[in-house]
Every structure is written in structure tokens, then in C-alpha cells.
């Protein structure tokens, strides 16, 4: 069930009033939300609801065991087992076939004939997000940042809550479990802000991302050799807009829907293509993932405490694993490696020459923005291509001198500019619109979403493609 569909509108129209009517009976409300979240997940493949339940139960039991012991050795052991079990699930579903193919290839290279059967098990939707939520809970309890929940229902709902279930944002247990312990405050509903996020998300996904992808980016990436240099370059920029509008649309809608139901999620995007350095980029792009990687991977590895080269190594390892998290393929590892190398290089330049593109004069910051944007877009080529060899071929075709005229249409260019304009508008500009909507009459409050959705219907393609991050 995708967000910008009639299915979801009807689903929400039923879930919303029941959720609030149960607000005074918090346990019943949570039970209801857990059940509808499982129903939401079952829309893709009902069998994987068992995986979701066992994962939640396993993490709940591990954290209860952690709460019951104060021995550091036992706590470390329990944490180790819980983390391993979480990662084993991810490894089996997401990486087994990839590793099997790579090992078989490597063995073949050395003349060995290995036959490792692929599992051919379909990848559960959002397996990576489930694992991140489970690990977040175990780590937070292990570090005593959050108390182990006594309620299995709370942990089940934390892991399965339908707005964040499929593609984030990654919500920390420490931030969410407290919200479940008491009834929601209806005054915390930000009607204007939530509707703006939801409607903006629908426009970004259905109008901007879908059209740029289907009209231009997908055909170019599927058959790059049919296109000239300018199309290849523009398609790389186009994909940067597509993935931003697609992914930020999902998390914006998730944040808006959760707020309407009485729960607060963290912000996940903050105009990432304004970034003047890669470090700045990762503070603005998929913020819940980058802070997760920082807190649970980079800092435990030593962060920047072990000296220069150890810091560069930690940055590299963190981003390589971040790349691998996105998908089982060398193209994702290279994508992460490029970001890791860029982050390490920025740090080296800052430490050696005192150069920081985020803090210099306007000219330095503009140069920093330009270089960062080019690096990010070049790295997206690896992210979009089906394999690393396809990505290298794509880059080779850009370098090849081709006289083929560009095929991109003015409509696609206009959409790309519109998508990029979302990066330039200062957030304060939205504030006055939000205030206007908050004070508007009920008739206007109905007119705005109605007209927006009708306009999206007029301008959008027939049908909605799945969100890109569903595959992760």
C-alpha cells in the first residue's frame, strides 16, 4: 500500500478516527495501531509479518534480560547475541545471495568450482529499516539511554508503526517509547504543518519524481549507449532530483501522518543539495540514518578520538557499511566509498590547511557547494546503475565524445528546476503560508488539499511507482 493512493487514503480515513476515539484507552489504542500496522505490512507479503513479530519479540526479550542484570560481562554477551541475531536476519535475506555469487566468482577466478545455491527468497520490504529499529532499541537499552520496556506491545508497535515501517525515518527507541507510555495530546497535532508535509510529499513524488524518472532518467539509465553526452549528464542530475523528491516525499508524508495520529518523528531531510561540503550534506540528507551511523557505528569504532588516520579509517568504514546497507552490490559499496573518501579528504584538508568550504567567504562557500553537488551527483550514478560495471560504462560514455543531440524535453527541465527550487526556498517562507492555513476557515482548509490533489491528478502519470527506498 503506497502513500499517495486511494488505498491509503481510505485506510487512513478509517484508522484516524478510531485511533483518536481510543486515545483515553492507551493500551487499546496501541493494540489497534499495532494490528493496523501489521495489516499495512501484510499488503506486501503477509508471511513476513511473522518475521516482524519474531524480530520484535526477540528484541523485547533481549532487552528484558539486559534490564535484569547489572553484570557488565553478561550485558555485553546479551547485547552481542541480540545484535548478531538482528544482523543474521538481514544477512540472510539481503546479502546471502550476493555473497554466494561473489564467492563463487572468486573461486572460479582461482580455478575452483564452488556451487553455492542461492536462497531465492524474496527480500522482505524494509528489512533494513526493521533491523535498524531493532538494533537502535538494543543499543539504547544496553547503554542505559532508555529503559527496557516492560510492554511487549510497545516494542511491537515501535518496530511496526506503519508510517515509518517501510522507509523510515529511523526513529530512536529513546524518542518513541516515551510517546507510547501516555495518551497523545490532541493539541500537539500541527494541522497546517502535517498537511503541508503530506501534500508537498505527494507533489514531489507523483508530479516531480515520477515524471522525471519515467520520461527521462529511466530510459537513459536503462540504455545509456543510445544517448549522447548531454543527456547522460542531465540524467545524472535528474536522478539526484528524483531520489531526493522520492525519498523525502515518503518521509515527509510519514512524519505528517504520524503527527496527525499524535506521534512525533524526527526530521529526515533539510535541503541537502544546499550543502557546501560532504559533511554538511550528511547533516541534511537522510538525517536519521546519518545520525544512526554516527552514534552506533562511527563513535563506537573510536570516532575522531584515535588520531588522524584512525579517524579517516573510521569515516571510510562507516560510509562503506552505510553503502552496503543500501543494497547488496558492489555499486553501493563504491557509492559509500566515494562518500567516505570525500569525508576523509575534507577532514584532511581542514586539519592540514585549515580549509573548510562551509565556513569561508561567499566565493569559497559557492565553490564548496559546486564541488559537493558534482561529487554527490557523480556518486548517484553508482547508486542508480544496476551494477558497478554498468556505472563505469555510464561514466565512460560521458567521457566519450558523442555528437548526439540532447533529447530531454523542456517539461522535464522545468520539473528538474522545480525540484531543485525546493532546495533554495528558505524555510521561513513556508512559515507565513502555514500560519495562513492554520488560521483559515474550515472551507479553505478543505479546499487546499482538495485542489492540490486534483492538480496532482491532472498533472501526474497514471498510477504511482513504488518508492525507491522500498527496496532497502
Q: Applying CB under 8 A, which residues contact another protein?
A: 6-7, 9, 12-13, 16-17, 20, 23, 186-187, 189, 191, 195, 209-211, 213-215, 217-218, 221, 242, 260, 384, 409, 411, 439, 441-442, 445-447, 449-450, 453-454, 457-465, 468
All 3 cell numbers of residue 218?
A: 529511466
The grid coordinates of residue 282 equal 550528511
Smallest gap from Cβ 437 to another protein, in A, equals 11
Nearest approach in angstroms of CB 458 to another protein is 5
Catalytic residue among 133, 164, 211, 326: 326
Output the nine-digit C-alpha cell for 425.
526556498
Which residue, 134 or 262, is less far from another protein as judged by CB?
A: 262
CA distance 239 to 217: 6
Tell the smallest beta-carbon distance from residue 218 to another protein (Å). 5
- Where is 54: in which H helix or E strand? helix 48-67
How many Cβ atoms sit within 10 Å of the Cβ of residue 416?
A: 23
With vertex at residue 338, the alpha carbon angle to CA 332 and CA 339, rounded to the nearest 5 degrees, is: 95
Residue placing its CB nearer to another protein in the complex, 142 or 248: 248
Contact 197, 72 (CB under 8 A): no
The smaller minimum CB distance to another protein, of residues 16 and 77, is found at 16
- Closest contact distance (angstroms) between CB of 445 and another protein is 5
Q: Is 45 helix (H, G, I), strand (E, B) or coil?
A: coil
> DSSP assignment, residue 465?
P
Smallest separation (angstroms) from another protein to the CB of 55: 27
What residues contact residue 224 under an 8 Å CB cut-off, 6+ apart? 232, 393, 394, 397
Nearer to another protein, 303 or 449 (CB): 449
CB 212 within 8 A of CB 290: no
Rank residues 5 and 119 by Cβ distance to another protein and give the closer one: 5
On whether the CB atoms of residues 50 and 36 are closer than 8 A, the answer is no
C-alpha dihedral, 227 to 233 to 236 to 240, nearest 10°: -140
Residue 299: how many CA atoms within 13 Å on its side-chain side?
A: 8
Provide CB contacts within 8 A for 265, sequence distance 6+. 163, 164, 169, 171, 251, 254, 255, 258, 259
Query: Would you call 326 a catalytic residue per the annotation?
Result: yes
- State which residue, 399 or 443, has the beta carbon closest to another protein: 443
Rg (CA), the chain: 23
Min dist CB 208 to another protein, Å, is 12
- Cell 557499511 found at: 321
- Rounded to whole angstroms, how far apart are CA atoms 77 and 55? 18
Handedness of CA 325, 330, 335, 341 (dihedral sign): positive
| C-beta closer to another protein: residue 175 or 218 | 218
Is 19 in contact with 29 (CB distance < 8 Å)?
yes
- Pick the closer one to another protein by CB: 86 or 184: 184
In the bound state with another protein, the residue whose beta carbon lies nearer, of 83 and 180, is 180
Closest distance to another protein from the beta carbon of 217 (Å): 8
Burial zone of 34 (CB within 10 Å; 0-12 exposed, 13-18 middle, 19+ buried): buried
Alpha helices, H only, 261-329: 278-284, 287-293, 308-326
- Would you please indicate which residues are annotated as catalytic (active-site) residues? 326
Amino acid at each position: 500500500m503506497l502513500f499517495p493512493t486511494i488505498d491509503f487514503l481510505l485506510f487512513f480515513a478509517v484508522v484516524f478516527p478510531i485511533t483518536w476515539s481510543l486515545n483515553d484507552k492507551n493500551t487499546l489504542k496501541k493494540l489497534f495501531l499495532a494490528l493496523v500496522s501489521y495489516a499495512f505490512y501484510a499488503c506486501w507479503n503477509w508471511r513476513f509479518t511473522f518475521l516482524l513479530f519474531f524480530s520484535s519479540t526477540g528484541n523485547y526479550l533481549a532487552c528484558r534480560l539486559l534490564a535484569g542484570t547489572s553484570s557488565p560481562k553478561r550485558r555485553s554477551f546479551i547485547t552481542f547475541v541480540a545484535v548478531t541475531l538482528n544482523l543474521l536476519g538481514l544477512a540472510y535475506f539481503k546479502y546471502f545471495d550476493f555473497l554466494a555469487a561473489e564467492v563463487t566468482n572468486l573461486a572460479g577466478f582461482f580455478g575452483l568450482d564452488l556451487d553455492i545455491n542461492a536462497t531465492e527468497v524474496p527480500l522482505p520490504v524494509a528489512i533494513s529499516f526493521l533491523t535498524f529499529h531493532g538494533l537502535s532499541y538494543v543499543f539504547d537499552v544496553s547503554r542505559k539511554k532508555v529503559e527496557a520496556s516492560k510492554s511487549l506491545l510497545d516494542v511491537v508497535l515501535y518496530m511496526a508503526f506503519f508510517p515509518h515501517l517501510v522507509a523510515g525515518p529511523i526513529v530512536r527507541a529513546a524518542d518513541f517509547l516515551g510517546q507510547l507510555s501516555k495518551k497523545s495530546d490532541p493539541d500537539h497535532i500541527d494541522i497546517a504543518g502535517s498537511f503541508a508535509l503530506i501534500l508537498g510529499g505527494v507533489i514531489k513524488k507523483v508530479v516531480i519524481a515520477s515524471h522525471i524518472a519515467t520520461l527521462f532518467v529511466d530510459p537513459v539509465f536503462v540504455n545509456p549507449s543510445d544517448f549522447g553526452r548531454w543527456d547522460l549528464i542531465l540524467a545524472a542530475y535528474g536522478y539526484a532530483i528524483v531520489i531526493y523528491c522520492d525519498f523525502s516525499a515518503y518521509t515527509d508524508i510519514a512524519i505528517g501522518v504520524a503527527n496527525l495520529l499524535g506521534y512525533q518523528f524526527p526530521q529526515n531531510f533539510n535541503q541537502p543539495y544546499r550543502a557546501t561540503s560532504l559533511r554538511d550534506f550528511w547533516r541534511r540528507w537522510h538525517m536519521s540514518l546519518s545520525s544512526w551511523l554516527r552514534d552506533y557505528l562511527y563513535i563506537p569504532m573510536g570516532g575522531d578520538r584515535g588520531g588522524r588516520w584512525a579517524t579517516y579509517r573510521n569515516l571510510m568504514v562507516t560510509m562503506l557499511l552505510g553503502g552496503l546497507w543500501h543494497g547488496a552490490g558492489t555499486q553501493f559499496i563504491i557509492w559509500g566509498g566515494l562518500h567516505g573518501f570525500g569525508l576523509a579528504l575534507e577532514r584532511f584538508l581542514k586539519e592540514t590547511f585549515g580549509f573548510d568550504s562551509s565556513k569561508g567567504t561567499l566565493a569559497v562557500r559557492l565553490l564548496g557547494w559546486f564541488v559537493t553537488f558534482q561529487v554527490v551527483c557523480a556518486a548517484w550514478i553508482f547508486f542508480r546503475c544496476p551494477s558497478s560495471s554498468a556505472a563505469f560504462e555510464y561514466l565512460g560514455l560521458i567521457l566519450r565524445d558523442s555528437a548526439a543531440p540532447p533529447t530531454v524535453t523542456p517539461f522535464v527541465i522545468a520539473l528538474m528546476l522545480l525540484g531543485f527550487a525546493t532546495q533554495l526556498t528558505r524555510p521561513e517562507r513556508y512559515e507565513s503560508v502555514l500560519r495562513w492555513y492554520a488560521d483559515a476557515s474550515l472551507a479553505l482548509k478543505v479546499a487546499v488539499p482538495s485542489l492540490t490533489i486534483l492538480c496532482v491528478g491532472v498533472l501526474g502519470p497514471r498510477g504511482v511507482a513504488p518508492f525507491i527506498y522500498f527496496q532497502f
